[in-house]
Amino acid sequence: MADQNTVESKPEQSLPERPKDAPADEAGAAGAEGDKGPSKSALKKAAKEKEKAEKAAKRKAAEEAQKKQQEGSDVSREDYGDLPMIGSLEYKPSGVKRVTLAQIAEKYNETTPFDEAGGVDVCFRAVVENARNQSAKLSFLVFRETLNTIQAVVAASDTLSRQMVKFAGSINAESIVLVHGLVKKTPEPVKSATISHLEIHVKKIYVVAKADSQLPMQVQDAERPLPLEGEEAKEDESGRPIVTLNTRLNNRVIDLRGKHNRAIFAIKDGVTALFQEFLRGHGFIGIQTPKLLGAPSEGGANVFEVGYFATKAFLAQSPQLYKQMLIASRFERVMEVGPVFRAENSNTARHLTEFTGLDLEMAFEEDYHEVVEVLENLMLYIFNGLRTKYKRETDLVRSIYHVDEFKLPEAGNVPRIPFSEGIQMLRDDGLEIGDYDDLSTPDEKRLGALVLKKYGSDFYVLDQFPLNIRPFYTMPSHTAPAHTEGAKDPNAGYSNSYDFFMRGQEILSGAQRIHDADFLCKRMKEHVTPCDPNSDGLRDYVNAFRYGCPPHAGGGIGLERIVMLWLGLPNVRLASLFPRDPNRVMP
Amino acid sequence: MADQNTVESKPEQSLPERPKDAPADEAGAAGAEGDKGPSKSALKKAAKEKEKAEKAAKRKAAEEAQKKQQEGSDVSREDYGDLPMIGSLEYKPSGVKRVTLAQIAEKYNETTPFDEAGGVDVCFRAVVENARNQSAKLSFLVFRETLNTIQAVVAASDTLSRQMVKFAGSINAESIVLVHGLVKKTPEPVKSATISHLEIHVKKIYVVAKADSQLPMQVQDAERPLPLEGEEAKEDESGRPIVTLNTRLNNRVIDLRGKHNRAIFAIKDGVTALFQEFLRGHGFIGIQTPKLLGAPSEGGANVFEVGYFATKAFLAQSPQLYKQMLIASRFERVMEVGPVFRAENSNTARHLTEFTGLDLEMAFEEDYHEVVEVLENLMLYIFNGLRTKYKRETDLVRSIYHVDEFKLPEAGNVPRIPFSEGIQMLRDDGLEIGDYDDLSTPDEKRLGALVLKKYGSDFYVLDQFPLNIRPFYTMPSHTAPAHTEGAKDPNAGYSNSYDFFMRGQEILSGAQRIHDADFLCKRMKEHVTPCDPNSDGLRDYVNAFRYGCPPHAGGGIGLERIVMLWLGLPNVRLASLFPRDPNRVMP
């Protein structure tokens, strides 16, 4: 809504007049007639369309004639109808201030008295969630705006014609309307609307943008839960068939209209805003690292190749090397919110080929746990921000998926568990696992349950991962053989690295990085997947550490994962506006 | 610097001891010896490297022996030297609080009295900007930290050895050091340092990370201005050769260390933060639209093709279609900060193949100028934010490029000039130009100068551009023939579109978009570059408007352009951390 909006509506001065001669949906008909047939193959189609349009035009002409005759006896004829497309007529300010449903709900709340009998004049634009003709003299509508809905009645009277009642009750769901009406208290709460104590008595109603009568799916379909992973529900509790995820994603524009989707993406933006807010307040500077790289740098697999003029380029799998180079450039503390690309052919509920990385890197003074502490505080800041500022959205989504409250550690003491202790907890629980084995997803979830039981927290840190399962740039622990010349197994032992978990699933991965060029070269060569420090993709990176670079550590967070795990969504795709996976790049 | 830092430094308790037996740069030598020779072609090289390393090891052993002998008689032997790589030894907290140069400058400022004679103990990590041995008993260093520099003296005394003086004065520039010393007032201002009223009397100095003695370029080289477009300076006023842009970008990690670069990217992040702050405060939600698209959607040229598993994908040239689809999804007000990709083979000072788009889109009520007003207020908010919060950074960069103050309109009245009036202004100035011609870059700059003269503002809006030079989704003016069925020239006339300018160069382009599917199809077919509404890349987009979509408008802003024009930089590459153009995808 425009800035100058207030809840008061002025006396109506100069409403946009519906031109009598120009049919309101003229633009629609023009679509076919204005066709010049840009290609030969389209000519046949165009001819058909023309024929169709001519038929439609005839039909419309007849309807128009009938309508005009009726209008003669219609006291409400100026008070309803289809508006001409906004922008197609000269703009004449109406002078009527518009309000939002949220403003209405806030101002005329259950405790504030207002003129209940007469009602209060308001004007607003909203979506028609549904409309029905109760009788020839009475129609009901439900209007929607973001998370709010309100009921409206259109009742025939001396000043409101039956034609108008019929028009209002016949508006296609999902159409956009402009409404003038009176806000009144309802005799009893309206269960079907979120603003249940008020209703709108419609005085005028105009269609701003018409929706087709047949939509490929219904918004209500979008608002029902998907089956959880492993489940295979075909209908919900009330027996209605569940629209599959595939259908929803194919019709994402309608799917996203569901209230829970509004909530999911409000929360997603909230996480981003809280991330930036916290870090800017702690001296981090926002950066944009390149997504087009001249060579694959973080392992050749899983990278998308791009045609780049006469040569080729590759899509960045993370800002890792660049954010470190910026530490070497004296930036001290950097953060980035941006897309990352993974050409991994994984078709699971947890993988996307394009997602949003929340990345950060910082120089530290004496020990990498200074960075771990910043990261822990960052995550607690985000969780607490979500709990307070996005409670309504969180509750709305969790109510659909019946998810437990997310348990935060008491007094901010995040469990920081050495990897070796995590292994011991799993062994004590009966799992057979080696000291330096990577944790499988089920193992991680099992450990998550054990940690929740022991520490009472859904959020925790595993510290000191085995060196052999971390990238080449990871700083080995001071106890690791890698620090000794001529070590038998330079990949043995632990590393100064950590993962952060929510409900037993990883959301953040990070480490102290090697800031010494010679040691970095050594590690690149002896790593389990060796790489060449002189290769095109790594030369500049390695050299950066020859120019004097402070010790530093950082981490990368998967934004969609945080949203998924905070809300308990069954699929990470639900946390992406237009998700990409190996089989989907549209819409 | 870590959160808990204060300016006070506690009595030193347990400084990390330099282990006598482990040479500090052990890790460096290990690089070659740990080499396993991952490929045959590298074997010869490895052999050479080994020989080199052995020689170096011998040399070092001799040096070590000499050093040990000297240390016996060195009273300062615990107070200087190379620290072991942080992370390679067990962490023992020093208990010494570290401060920043900024905190020192703020606390001990020119008006606050402090113990000038005795000085105040501080400990900090900093970069050595330069170091020199004045005599056997005296060395001078300059330390740098972001935009601040401070001078330091190391003077021999009963408790500070000549060996330490020599060590300190010989530290390679750009090395990172840990310093313990006394802050004292200087007898007279130090011209070579930004903190000119204070200096550090060094008591201890350790090298945290050594820089190579020979760097590919000097940081001072980066701090001199590039020649402006068209100029061809080979040396600056003092006669030093100017390092070319190409060399700077090839060594971007060093180049970015220049203070002006710190300032440029602080300002860049400032623009982003101000953009998000203003829009979040006005009900906008941050979004992430996909960068990988299943089909090229905004014209087939200038788009990068990506190998996508068995098929292909394309990199988004803008979030245009997706942000509109989100308006159709009821998001009302959306914004995005993200990379955009243009495969345009333009090698100018104004083009990049990857840059950062600040995009927004919003539904409006009656007229698209509601959106223009939000955009104007947004830009004024950004400019005023830069003027107040980033004054130091702005002045620093502008002083290098001798750029005039950016003139803002008085009382926030942004000149909003109809395109036709702009054409008339140019004609009155002697230019021959048609009513509906697009403006060339020189024309735009000429108009910028005319507008500055007439309105006293470097910031202005051109409104109502000719329809035939705007994209297919642009809403034609109400006067445009496109709204009439069977119009002779449906691309004639004007459109509800606008560009925003800074110093005569476009920074924002936007318009009211067509929100009616049938009219959109008509325009797609009759556009000067027709496109097919049923094509893979456009079908979902067109359909979005069949489901009821409110009138909306928006714009896209080039972040790097704002930074360039605000500061008067001669090349847009200077506003990108790692710029991409047709000839550059590295580093």
**A265-307 confidence digits (pLDDT tens):** 999 999 999 999 999 999 999 999 999 999 987 766 799 999 9
Contact B475, B495 (CB under 8 A): yes
Distance from CA of B356 to the nearest CA of A (A): 8
For residue B62, what pLDDT is reported?
80
Q: What is the number of other CB atoms lying within 10 angstroms of the CB of residue B313?
A: 26
Q: What angle do CA B408, B410, B413 make, to 5 degrees?
A: 90
Q: Name which of A165-174, A501-510, B5-14, B310-319 the model is least confident about.
A: B5-14
Return the higher-pLDDT residue of A449 and A231.
A449
- B485: chain A residues, CB-CB within 8 Å: 26, 29-30, 33-34
Chain A interface, best mutation among B366, B527, B562, by max A CB count within 10 A: B366
Q: What is the number of other CB atoms lying within 10 angstroms of the CB of residue B408?
A: 17
pLDDT digits (tens, 9 = 90+) for B169-216: 999 999 999 999 999 998 899 999 999 999 999 999 999 999 999 999
Q: Is A509 a catalytic residue?
A: yes
Are A292 and B341 within 8 A, CB to CB? yes
* B344, B354, B370, B421: the active-site residue: B344
Q: What separation in angstroms does the CA of B388 have from each of A322, A454, B68, B288?
A: 30, 51, 56, 30
Rounded Cα gap, residues A108 and A186, in angstroms: 12
Selecting from A30, A547, A550 the residue whose C-beta is nearest the C-beta of B125 gives A550
Residue B212 has what DSSP assignment? P
For residue A44, what pLDDT is reported?
74
**pLDDT surpasses 50 at A165:** yes
pLDDT digits (tens, 9 = 90+) for B263-298: 999 999 999 999 999 999 999 999 999 999 999 877
ipTM computed for the complex: 0.87
Residue B366 has what DSSP assignment? S
- B296: chain A residues, CB-CB within 8 Å: none
Quote the tokens at residue A171. 């508006």
**pLDDT surpasses 50 at A14:** no
For residue A71, what pLDDT is reported?
62
Tokens 């920081």, residue located: A416
Angle between helices A26-33 and B517-526 (to 10 degrees): 30
Bridge partners (DSSP) listed for residue A204: A180
Rounded Cα gap, residues A287 and A301, in angstroms: 26
Q: What is the mean pLDDT of residues A9-19?
A: 40
* B350, B387, B416, B483: the active-site residue: B350
* B342, B470, B527, B573: the active-site residue: B342
Q: Is A329 a catalytic residue?
A: no
Q: What is the chain A residue with the closest CA to B259?
A: A330
**pLDDT surpasses 60 at A2:** no
Chain A interface, best mutation among B41, B145, B329, B584, by max A CB count within 10 A: B329
Q: Is A344 a catalytic residue?
A: yes
Domain ranges of chain A: 101-209, 219-257, 261-575
Q: Name which of A34-43, A122-131, A496-505 the model is least confident about.
A: A34-43
Are B329 and A353 within 8 A, CB to CB? no
Residues in chain B, pLDDT under 50? 1-37
Q: Is A350 a catalytic residue?
A: yes
**Quick one: CATH architecture of B261-575?**
2-Layer Sandwich (3.30)
pLDDT digits (tens, 9 = 90+) for A66-98: 766 666 689 999 999 999 999 999 999 999 999
Helix (H) or strand (E) run with residue A313 in it: strand A311-315
pLDDT digits (tens, 9 = 90+) for A555-572: 999 999 999 999 999 999
Q: Is B342 a catalytic residue?
A: yes
Q: Strand, helix or coil at B451?
A: helix
For residue A471, what pLDDT is reported?
95
Selecting from B212, B365, B578 the residue whose C-beta is nearest the C-beta of A322 gives B578
Helix (H) or strand (E) run with residue A380 in it: helix A369-389
- A88: chain B residues, CB-CB within 8 Å: 475-476, 478, 483
Rounded Cα gap, residues A80 and A204, in angstroms: 6
Helix (H) or strand (E) run with residue B518 in it: helix B517-526
Of B276, B260, B249, nearest to B356 by C-alpha is B276
Quote the tokens at residue A459. 């959020």
pLDDT digits (tens, 9 = 90+) for A302-357: 999 999 999 999 999 999 999 999 999 999 999 999 999 999 999 999 999 999 99
Contact A308, B585 (CB under 8 A): yes
* B201, B252, B282, B351: the active-site residue: B351
For residue A234, what pLDDT is reported?
65
Tokens 């309508």, residue located: A67
Quote the tokens at residue B353. 């193949």
Start-end of H helices in B170-258: 219-222, 245-250, 252-255
- Residue B141's identity, in one-letter code, is L
Residue A102 has what DSSP assignment? H
Cα-Cα-Cα-Cα torsion B401, B402, B406, B407, nearest 10 degrees, comes to -160
pTM, to two decimals: 0.88
- Residue B295's identity, in one-letter code, is A
- Residue B551's identity, in one-letter code, is P
For B101-209, CATH gives: 2.40.50.140
Are B516 and A486 within 8 A, CB to CB? no
- A210: chain B residues, CB-CB within 8 Å: 548
Give chain A's mean pLDDT. 89
B528, burial (CB in 10 Å: exposed 0-12, middle 13-18, buried 19+): exposed
For residue B201, what pLDDT is reported?
97
